[in-house]
Amino acid sequence: MFDPAIVEIILGGVLGLTVLGVTEVIKKFLKASGAAAYLISLAVSAGATAYYLISQHIFALVPFIGYTLFTFAVANGIFKATHTPTK
């Protein structure tokens, strides 16, 4: 149902700015850490996802929630929690 390519577009394509970069700028400006940093990242992910879905005329609530969560997870390196390094 969810296309990983769309998550990559959302992460890197919103007005040429990346979700990671915008999140880092806001966190530094607000001197946020811990839970506040994750909330900022979630808000930026939601904003970027909404912008992309609206601009492509495909906005719907379920894809918005799904892509926001996937974008948030990728932006915060959640996938690294299950990654086992190879030797």
**What are the per-10-residue average pLDDT scores of the chain (87 residues)?**
77 68 89 91 92 89 92 80 61
pLDDT for res 71: 86
Structure tokens at 28: 């530094």
pLDDT for res 44: 92
- Tokens 């007005």 belong to 15
Helix-, strand-, coil-residue percentages of the chain, each rounded to 5: 70, 0, 25
What is the reported pTM?
Answer: 0.78
- Cα–Cα dist 18/38, whole Å: 16
- Cα–Cα dist 53/38, whole Å: 22
Domain positions in the chain: 4-81
Residues 6+ apart with CB under 8 A from 26: 32, 40, 44
